[in-house]
Structure 1
């Protein structure tokens, strides 16, 4: 079925791509790149009211890098970086409908993708070390870079690759503009959005500042049907409304000034997310009835979320000792304060109608503080015909988490819940210190450009949880090499080889035992985990099409070693011990005075255990990536722009249950779109269509298959002169749905034997969103 979907999805788009690639004339050379010392900045009014369609940039970097300016995305009015990334090659998401938070480059778990802001690491919310890209508003961004393969002068945490979010800086932009508008959702709710950016000369340097406030809202509808097993008897159904309502506020500031032989750069950003997530669920023992006679439970859940992301950096690059030296100091912090309250009224359906069976509530207070301080010292100089760069990166990461949980219940039907007063407290902390020296050489000669380097990453970690402290240290040598061969002015080949790492998830490191974390099985953390490592190869071909177009194809492979998987310690779980104690107690009640030598005395034969994380096994990831963007000049349509990207993704992992792909990896992801400019009337319109393949996750005691529908977006734009524009955008016009199938088991033995605890089918939907946005440059 997957192959048929792929074959049917893109025939027309690919035909256009091949026709244009064959017929479009080649540029004599790449578009000129601005040198660091060049004066002049991009006028912001040309961004507000674009005079032409913007395509993917062809970079001059030796490492394989795809670059997309904000103007490439802007006509579809993305709200966040997540909205932007869903239009670039190989980025998939396995999130709720209309939520684009954890970017999965090449379909891999977000922890395999390195997220950088201005080329620097930033802390995030995820226990897998991921950064939620929907926390950064699109209006702060200058461009998005996809760096497919590592270099020695960047952190090696990039098995899948790196996504570099480059914020607007003072050196690049000049002018002022305002952005204002509103969004309307399918339930009638409206939200406003406002932004302002200004840049220019101040105090002998250049200053740029921006602010952005935007309403966020996502009303979703869910339905879950549960069965004893696939094709088995119906057990119950759950109807749920899930609404996310909030505001994102952000600001960024950049100042650049030339001092002596060097350039001083100061930059910072702040993003605050204030959001309320409310869920209301009704559970029935009938597949369609909403009668009180079939009601099993009423559940209300509310999350009040306040998250702050902020960072500040200072850098000075100057001439020294016959070369160029760079010193960077950076501090970044992520704060998360979340209050989660879940209250449920249960009913016993052994009575008709079901009788009251309890009213209980749980309140969880989550406080996370994640901060990073880093220093970079680097020196570049010419050595013969090559350039040498050497340096050292220091990073100190501290992450502290405090959980407080209170559980209450009402005594009788109709009674209110008691106050949430007594809280059980659990705390944990992780302090990782890294010192990473590197050496890199690069050069250009004739049609060849090359780069080769070594990076040595050392990690010293202290881990604590509720008074238990552990330490661990490890180091990895990470070679990398790149070769770019310009076959002609239009055609080039890239080849890259490199070794990368993925550090363990935070929750896998903590020396805590979590009861019934996987079905009836418990889990205990392992603070002595080593990182996963991977050798990777990328081989790509790229062709310039005319003055603006680019077509490229890339093949990649990753050989991942020391995979972190969940393994059995052999120790019985708390559930198994409790079940055995109950069995013994029942036997003694029936046989007073019995002992273990008594015939029929229960024997301890646990079927659930304590599991932990360990470095076991290997994995392989591979795929083909195609991207194409060009005006159809060769077909006589210079004001028509076509955009296509398609990635076929696959992998192989052997776990305790057999062979599978990496968890959550979609089989494919593609985007097809066009923009039609109408210069004579100052208008433009366009559409974008996106689809990604099925994803499968297999964990202990649970297996999940996830399917998404298609996403269609359209826009129409009217320009008034060269300073004012209005744009109407419609997104999710096909009512995108997410369908999940859950195979649930009590333990590993049942999972192997396919003895189901429950089989669940869940569908989640959300309706169209319309934006009306006005921009004015002055």
Structure 2
């Protein structure tokens, strides 16, 4: 299927006008004009200054320094001239030069400030990082938020998600102190792109086929600063409805000198009283007679223990009255280990040419142990006494269930990037190019052991008014203190493997135009390939114990010392059953298969339904232009992306006549494998056009206005692209993916005001709107002859339930952002040690959009006066719709959340800085409710508080 989306005539006219503005008025440069080149550095630190502004006095001719602090100013009239050099947080400087025809080199321009003279010990800390980020944000042609990774203090476990949750416009969902995914401006995590130096990274998932990126699995020590791009320009990928989080890696040329930096310490969890450890190292140096070879090396290790107390309630509504129907206790444990390494080389061929190569490796281990005890009613309205409510119920046909689940995950990600930059034609032509390859693999072993009780319990459940906690009493019936009393004891074991490869290349050319107004044209192309393959196996079996056989199921009980036997919620509950050992049950099955009833047919069928592979190739080209007329800057362009998809999955073809249920199990397994021994391949493609228009206007010296229009898309999840069909004979249903799904489309509008003040600070206000269409939604309808022909489903299933996905419905996200960040030295000299930050994001979704958080705000204060650094930070997320449903009773809401963090550091020496961080000081809990307009508490998760302590330093 080919979808061709051309921009409207009105947009084409706007783009033509904007590009024409780059060419008019045209005038040949005078033969006597020259060009001026040089470098700007920080006098106190010796570091090069990127995004310093070098302007020709008395004209609108200006340029911004590159990452190495170098600049090239064209069309400078011959004779005596003055250059005004400015940089956020540093004193401006005027340099007098005499220009001749050709290239003119000026001596290194060094900038400084009273702040650095006041305390040279902290010059490489928060102030310099903030200055770099604010300068880059101020000079960007489009709307973005740029933050240095040292802006918010130590990162717990090096988790970049903990950093990003403090950036305006970013939400992290139900995470408290372990952020795994981020979303920008209310868009789902799968529609937020994460790149490293502009290149996508893989995020393999052994379970699930989404496009979400696991941000917690990257080593933070390799990252210098982060760009949150909210209004993309045409030279950027078009598939990020929410926005793009671009991670800029560190370079040895950033500091131009040798250093070794380290950090080591421990994490302590108050819940469970668990301790884990972390450590990291960074080394940077510049080599060669001309100091033109830079190397940056980093290595890190961190481990995290995260126990949690989990409680869940379920409701139904017979006769329209909400009834409590289920109560679950769940002592969980999540353990994480991450080992990361990064290496980057930069080689400067000349002042106008450079090459770079970067390597990154990340190994991630995780273990999730989930123990569940549940008391519930059968799925009928007669299993309760009359008068049941949402707070009190007496079950008359209740049952207990115990589940022990263990999920082991290993993931490896490798990334290689090479790139080059060149200035040609006396600097008027810039070329940059690069290539990247990033393979990743993931392994997951999932074991689930279940003890299902008899459905004969009379039990009371009583919920405290307005709260979560339940009082329960077993009046009569069979318990499962002995597993042999159970109706059924079973296990499921499912190992899964997933691989994902991303590769790509790009070439960009930017040409300065010989016009009276500073202008350039930029064109380029990018190709990006992405493939994901997934395979699973599965075993299911019922133990022959109790009514099913003579064997003793109590052999699978865990030892008393396991945490699952501990008291939960501060001693309120003692778990009401001894939990089972899932790994022991799996091992016993393979060693003693005769004691189990192997459900081979179900296992084979379910494993085949999750297998398959998808390949996606995106080829893109763009053209854009930029022109500056005094205080006005205008960038406009058009991008085209061609997407080609190839997917393959197993296909089920039933063999008739069916085997009788009495057939031997090996024959049934052979038959079902034969029925799944087919595959189906499909190909699809679509084409999208992305216009972009970005205007910026300097109202005053420090006040900047921006306006942007852009378009982008959100591609369907990989799982929806597989041509998979599953058939349930028992349920009389056919489920099939719609491989012809189109991407979701978004039109984005942004307006902002940004005020930059000295010494280091910015105050900004932004309003935004996203108009989204082609939502991907599920449909369930009787299979007709027309649908059977359209989706290539056998006619024998006509009349059965047919489930698939389709593009339908529109939505809208709009809101505003306020952000403030300042060192208070500009207010009063005695306030120089204090920096403050605050931001507020208000979002509103139309169309029952999941995950749109109505309000997010952050507050922060840093006091930095040698030898002390104190930091306090607060993050708030409002209540939001977490799970949408057409039935209001089934809608689920994540409750508001406040997280307070404190940090203290003491500097004995540059190489010895002990620190301590307190996270979740308020002991915030994760809470979920359900039903629009009616408070029904559903989920409560307690994770406790966390203390990180250690020492760090720099040589």
Give the TM-score category using the shorter length: 0.7 to 0.9
Residue 908 of structure 2 corresponds to which residue in structure 1? 720
Q: Which residue is 2:493 aligned to?
A: 363
Structure 1: segments with no counterpart, 5+ residues? 1-28, 573-603, 654-659, 744-750
In the alignment, what sits opposite 1:13? Answer: none
Contact 1:220 1:243 in 2 (8 A): yes
Which stretch shows the higher mean deviation, 168-177 or 213-222?
168-177
Match status 1:189 vs 2:274: yes
Q: Does 1:645 align with 2:827?
A: no
Output the CA distance in 2 between the equivalents of 1:305 and 1:52: 39
Q: Verify the 8 A CA contact 1:98 1:218 in the aligned structure 2.
A: no
Distance of 1:482 and 1:710 partners within structure 2: 36
Could you state the TM-score of these two structures normalised by the residue count of structure 1?
0.83
Q: Which shifted more, 95-104 or 157-166?
A: 95-104
1:378 deviates by 1.5
Contact 2:324 2:392 in 1 (8 A): no
Please tell me whether the aligned partners of residues 504 and 529 of structure 1 are also in contact (alpha carbons under 8 angstroms).
yes
- Mapped pair 1:770 → 2:947: yes
Q: How many Å separate the matches in 2 of 1:357 and 1:152?
A: 62
3-state SS in 2 of match to 1:73: coil
How far apart are the structure 2 equivalents of 1:614 and 1:232?
32
2:361 corresponds, among 261, 270, 279, to 270
Cross-structure match for 1:20: none
- Secondary structure at the residue paired with 1:82? helix
- Residues 502-554 of structure 1 deviation map (CA, whole Å, 9 limit, x = unaligned): 1111122222235689x997642111111111111110001013211111010
Pair 1:671-2:858 in alignment: yes
Aligned positions of 1:100-249 closer than 5 A: 100-125=179-204, 127-173=209-255, 174=257, 175-186=259-270, 187-202=272-287, 204-229=292-317, 232-249=322-339
Write the distance in 2 (CA, Å) between the matches of 1:120 and 1:323.
23
Within-5 A mapping of 1:628-707: 628-633=820-825, 634=827, 637-653=831-847, 660=848, 662-679=849-866, 682-696=867-881, 697-699=883-885, 702-707=890-895
Hey, what's the Cα distance between the residues in 2 that align with 1:207 and 1:733? Answer: 40
Output one character per residue of 1:297-349: Cα deviation in whole Å (capped at 9) or x when no partner.
11100011001122110112224566222221100122111111111111114
Q: How many residues of Structure 1 are paired with residues of Structure 2 in the alignment?
A: 693
- Alpha carbons of structure 1 residues 285 and 374: separation in structure 2 relative to 1, 3 Å: closer
* Among 395, 416, 429, the residue aligned to 2:528: 395
CA distance in structure 2 between the partners assigned to 1:507 and 1:371 by the alignment: 16
Partner residue in 2 for 1:625: 817
Q: Which moved more, 1:709-718 or 1:136-145?
A: 136-145
Alignment partner, residue 609 of structure 1: 801
Partner SS for 1:195: strand
Partner of 2:693: 481
Question: Which structure has the higher relative contact order (CA within 8 Å, separation 6+)?
Answer: 1
TM-score normalised over the length of structure 2: 0.68
From 630, 639, 646, give the equivalent of 1:455. Answer: 639
CA-CA distance at 1:75 after TM superposition: 4.4
Structure 2 Cα separation of the partners of residues 233 and 699 of structure 1: 19
Deviation at 1:209, TM superposition (A): 0.4
Q: Which moved more, 1:406-415 or 1:239-248?
A: 406-415
Q: Which is greater in Rg?
A: 2
Native 8 Å contact 2:445 2:495 kept in 1: yes
1:730-757, CA deviations, whole angstroms, 9 ceiling, x for partnerless residues?
00111221112356xxxxxxx9xx9x9x
* Cα offsets for 1:444-502 (capped at 9, x unmatched): 23112221111100001111111111110000010111111011111000111111111
Rounded to whole Å, the distance in 1 between the matches of 2:638 and 2:125 is: 45
Secondary structure of 1:57 counterpart: helix
Deviations 1:94-115 (A, max 9, x none): 2454331121111221122111
DSSP 3-state at the match of 2:891: strand
Residues 667 and 484 of structure 1: is their aligned pair in 2 closer, same or farther, counting only changes over 3 Å? same
Q: 1:529 aligns with which of 704, 727, 741?
A: 741
Q: Which has the higher strand share?
A: 1
- How far apart are residue 562 of structure 1 and its match? 1.7
Q: In structure 2, the residue corresponding to 1:72 is in which secondary structure?
A: coil
Name stretches of at least 5 consecutive residues in structure 2 with no aligned partner: 1-49, 54-63, 71-107, 378-390, 458-476, 480-484, 547-551, 556-584, 594-599, 651-678, 785-796
Post-superposition Cα deviations, 1:550-605, rounded to whole Å, max 9, x if no partner, equal 11010001111222222234329xxxxxxxxxxxxxxxxxxxxxxxxxxxxxxx99
Cα deviation, 1:239-280, whole Å, max 9, x if unaligned, reads 101111121000011000022552111012111111111011
**Aligned equivalents of 1:706 and 1:90: distance in 2?**
18
User: What SS does structure 1 have at the residue aligned with 2:252?
Assistant: coil
CA contact (8 A) 1:691 1:710 kept: yes
**Of 586, 589, 608, which aligns to 1:419?**
589
- 1:765 CA drift (Å): 1.4
1:434 maps to which residue? 618
Cα separation, partners in 2 of 1:566 and 1:294, compared to 1, 3 Å = closer
Corresponding residue for residue 8 of structure 1: none
Q: Report matched runs for 1:726-737 at 5 Å.
A: 726-737=914-925
